[in-house]
Structure 1
Amino acid sequence: MASTPLTAQTATGNEIAAACEYLNEADVRTGYCIGYIIGAWEGLKLGAFQMLLASGADGTAQELDNAINNLLGICVPATVERGQIIDIAMKYFDENPEERHLPARGLIRDALRISFPAVELGTVSPI
């Protein structure tokens, strides 16, 4: 019995933009839109945090958060609400249709980098 090799599947900007068209309706696609965008943002932060820990970084929670921002090139203020993150991603999808065939998580990162560019906020020494 032959098996089919597994390939990594990732949502494209087109898929997420299409799901987000139903954002104000009681539709399962609304949950997919919100969940994907917020999950992608949280995943980016978690990945950066894991990289810092693997490099031996140490510091206070604020210092580590600053290091994550610097690593990602994104500095989302703590007062920004999740709805704003979704709005920013959707706006980026709308304004960049030529890129929507690309992986959505990268487009979300790009949207946040443009909206909230990082500034050097102190660093954490890796080791």
Structure 2
Amino acid sequence: MLPVIMSLAAALFSGAASAYNSGNALFAAMNSSQEQTFAMMYVAGAAEGYQTGHIIGYMRGSRAKVVENSKPGDGGLCVPPSVNYGQLSDVVKKWLSENPARRHEPPISLIFSALNSAFPC
């Protein structure tokens, strides 16, 4: 888990991640053979960071809401331990495909919306 979070942190400060300024950019990367793996790790890092309560992010100028140690019924993410990174990425990609009207929003908020609809507590 720590390597994924560290990878995400490094990515956030690299030029490659700055290209993910919207859901449109993330969706394009998820559909690109050259950027697909990086996009999958971006999604995995966001999901793990959210679940462990260690993500520090800003969405449209306000601190991202973090739910630490999510439990059933609290509105957080409850991703089963058997779900792998590819599956997380597939869920987000499908959600972005089905919600094109929201792709202009920040990618981190869209990732959480997608995962919350698939793995609610």
* TM bracket (short chain): 0.5 to 0.7
Q: TM-score, normalised by structure 2?
A: 0.65
Q: CA deviation at 1:44?
A: 1.4
Residue from 101, 104, 112 that aligns with 1:101: 104
Q: CA deviation at 1:45?
A: 2.2
1:36-47 superposed matches below 5 A: 36-46=42-52
CA-based RMSD: 2.3
After the TM superposition, list the runs of 4 or more consecutive aligned residues in structure 1 that deviate by more than 4 angstroms.
none
Structure exhibiting the larger radius of gyration computed from Cα positions: 1
> Matched residues in 1 for 2:40 and 2:54: separation?
23
Match of residue 56 from structure 1: none
> Matched residues in 2 for 1:81 and 1:31: separation?
13
Q: CA deviation at 1:91?
A: 0.6
> Matched residues in 2 for 1:30 and 1:87: separation?
11
- Is the alpha carbon distance of 1:44 and 1:11 closer, same or farther for their aligned partners in structure 2, counting shifts above 3 Å? farther
Q: TM-score, normalised by structure 1?
A: 0.62
Q: In the comparison of the two structures, how many residue pairs are matched?
A: 90
Give ranges in structure 2 of 5+ residues lacking alignment: 1-17, 56-67
Match of residue 60 from structure 1: none
Residue from 13, 22, 36 that aligns with 1:30: 36
